[in-house]
Amino acid sequence: MNIESFRAELETRLLIEKEYIIQELSLIDDYQEKLEVLGKFNEKYKELIKRIANEDGIDLNVPYQTENPLHSENLTYEQIILGKP
């Protein structure tokens, strides 16, 4: 599992998406429309993470290995990246 290359690829793609969403939001005056655009971005973000992980052969369901052995929660990489369900 190459998490570093995954992270680098994700950062690059998210920077591109960030620029796009900033431009799009600047053209919208309605608060509700802005929330809808942000919701779409959030879904694209989640799908992008899953797609890149799949392309790189990274299983997001693998338990995240913490350096703290006293840490009691057993979270997967997906839960760490996308947030706990």
What pLDDT is attached to residue 27?
Answer: 93
What pLDDT is attached to residue 70?
Answer: 61
pLDDT, tens digit (0-9, with 9 covering 90-100), for 63-79:
877 776 665 578 888 88
What average pLDDT values come out for the chain (85 residues) when binned by 10 residues? Answer: 76 87 91 91 86 85 74 76 74
**Per-residue burial over 32-45, b = 16 or more CB atoms within 10 Å of its CB, e = otherwise:** eeeeeeeeebeeeb
What pLDDT is attached to residue 1?
Answer: 52
What pLDDT is attached to residue 29?
Answer: 92
CB 24 within 8 A of CB 37: yes
Residue 14, classified by CB atoms within 10 Å of its CB into exposed (0-12), middle (13-18) or buried (19+), is: middle
